[in-house]
């Protein structure tokens, strides 16, 4: 799994976990539909309803990245400047933030600069990660993408 995929999954997965209290109501409907299972039409209607919450991951595609990261930061015991630092962002998501990991992420995201200039690379990485999160359906404020 790519490093960016891990970043995205950590953020989008955290958003799903925050929505989890709503999930129990969705399985309750298929259980009721299962009682009406002798009617084949009702069962397929129930499945259609069940797949709607699953495609209810469409609202998940509008994950508020800033809100998720702010929430995670509030739960951490340390101060992390995830808004500006790719290192702190990766630490916040419990990912390897070593120089080697960041160089690997830079390679994934097609960084063409000098990876030995870690300061420039880190700034570029942060902007690219935020832009890619937005392109993946995340809601990212403009000031974090530029």
| Same domain? 30 vs 54 | yes
| Same domain? 123 vs 110 | yes
Domain span at 68: 3-15+60-145
Are 117 and 128 within 8 A, CB to CB? no
At 59-104, the pLDDT tens digits run 445 899 999 999 999 998 889 999 999 999 999 999 999 999 999 9
pLDDT of residue 106: 98
Are 20 and 122 within 8 A, CB to CB? no
| Same domain? 70 vs 113 | yes
């Amino acid at each position: 799994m790519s490093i960016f995929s891990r970043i995205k999954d950590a953020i989008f997965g955290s958003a799903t976990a925050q929505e989890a209290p709503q999930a129990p109501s969705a399985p309750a409907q298929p259980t009721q539909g299962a009682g009406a299972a002798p009617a084949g039409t009702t069962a397929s209607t129930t499945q259609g309803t069940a797949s709607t919450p699953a495609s209810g991951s469409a609202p998940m595609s509008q994950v508020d990245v800033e809100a998720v990261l702010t929430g995670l930061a509030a739960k951490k015991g340390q101060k992390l400047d995830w808004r500006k630092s790719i290192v702190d962002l990766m630490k916040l998501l419990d990912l390897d933030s070593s120089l080697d990991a960041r160089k690997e992420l830079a390679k994934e995201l097609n960084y063409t600069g000098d990876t030995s200039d870690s300061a420039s690379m880190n700034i570029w990485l942060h902007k690219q990660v935020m832009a890619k999160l937005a392109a993946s359906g995340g809601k990212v404020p403009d000031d974090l993408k530029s």
